[in-house]
Amino acid sequence: MSSDKDSKSQKGKDTTLSGPELQKLYRLMVTTRALDDRGLALQRQGRIGFYLQSTGQEASHLGSAAALKDSDWLFPAYRQPGILLLRQVPIEKIICEWFGNGGDTSKGRQMPVHYSFRQANFVSISSPIGTQLTQAAGAGMAARIRGDDTVFMTYCGDGGTSSNDFHTGLNFAAVYKAPVVFVVENNGWAISVPSSKQTCSTSMAIKADAYGMPGVQVDGNDILAVYQASQEAVARARRGDGPTLIETVTYRMASHSSSDDAARYRDAKEYENWKKKDPITRFQLYLKGKKLWNEAFEKDCVEGAKAAIQTAVNAAEAQPNPPVDSLFDDVYMNLTPQLKEQREHLRDLVAKGSIGADIGAFPL
């Protein structure tokens, strides 16, 4: 299913989502974009050390994750922040992670934008490319052994398909019929490497053939098309029929991260062409055709998102840094004598002012 420029559903099909559900998805897309804009602004202002945007890919990850139950698990890459909003993670907790402060679930130990939220069944993002694919496959294999009906969804970019973990994850999941949905967000670029230099395959979806699982290519800027393809893959996994590979063809509108400048390697015309395919604008046209969108609704979405984010930023910036001796938490269930001694020594140094000064934001 795909909502075209005339706000109609292609192939005579329409979504099973209700009007309020469609409006909720739109609000989540708008909030995700606003969150990205504010995150990059904070980094440019020197208030956080690093940020990584998902601008242009909101339909891809929200449309796919919306097909899951809340009890299903997500093994994300690092360009799916909207899923946290979908899973009702408080915006303040998301922003605390950027600052790495005392309110950060990871206690300041992770890079910014490398979230981990157990309450949302959202497994920690890792910087190494592709590691989440094998993790999801293993979790899916375990669920199948236990007889659970849980489904596991994992993400990577086009660059991630060149990782060892892509082969390992898909191979194991297929052989053991693990209930996993692999979503490859083909956004055109792996930092500065274009998809054309990433693979000689005609698509990313066709790679599924070699592993003995279905491969589906879908318009990643059409949230309804992504949702339908994901619904089918999730249902297949839950039935016990094994994994599916979904390729969402989308575009990375922003640079790779706040440390990158895409203008140095990307054609401006390519960017402008994809900008016309903005997934939020596209979905807006669809909702307008369904009489589910108007200027008042848009204003409520935009201003509501900005207000919620501002409140969360204020609260996050007021949080202190994690206690220095929290370094020793979560290392062992029971601290060893050596670690206890080191902790006391560190506390003594902090008390004397010899260590513990604010060293600033994450240095990227």
Digit-by-digit pLDDT tens for the chain (364 residues) are 444 443 343 443 567 899 999 999 999 999 999 999 999 999 999 999 999 999 999 999 999 999 999 999 999 999 999 999 999 999 999 999 999 999 999 999 999 999 999 999 999 999 999 999 999 999 999 999 999 999 999 999 999 999 999 999 999 999 999 999 999 999 999 999 999 999 999 999 999 999 999 999 999 999 999 999 999 999 999 999 999 999 999 999 999 999 999 999 999 999 999 999 999 999 999 999 999 999 999 999 999 999 999 999 999 999 999 988 888 998 899 999 999 999 999 888 888 887 655 545 555 5
> Counting every residue, how long is the chain?
364
Cβ-contact 178, 152 below 8 angstroms: yes
Q: What is the pLDDT of residue 259?
A: 96
What are the residue numbers of the active site?
Answer: 252, 256, 265
Residue from 32, 79, 316 nearest 190 by CA = 79
Q: What is the pLDDT of residue 9?
A: 37
Cβ-contact 165, 135 below 8 angstroms: no
The residues near 24 (Cβ < 8 Å, ≥ 6 apart) are none
**Cα dist from 137 to 133, 255, 335, whole Å:** 6, 30, 32
**Cα dist from 253 to 61, 82, 99, 280, whole Å:** 15, 16, 24, 13
Rounded to whole angstroms, the Cα distance separating 294 from 301 reads: 11
Q: What is the DSSP letter of 323?
A: P
Q: What is the pLDDT of residue 3?
A: 42
**Residue whose tokens read 């402060």:** 101
Q: What is the pLDDT of residue 8?
A: 40
Domain extent listing, the chain: 14-317, 323-364
CATH architecture of 14-317: 3-Layer(aba) Sandwich (3.40)
**Residue whose tokens read 């919306």:** 66
Q: What is the pLDDT of residue 6?
A: 37
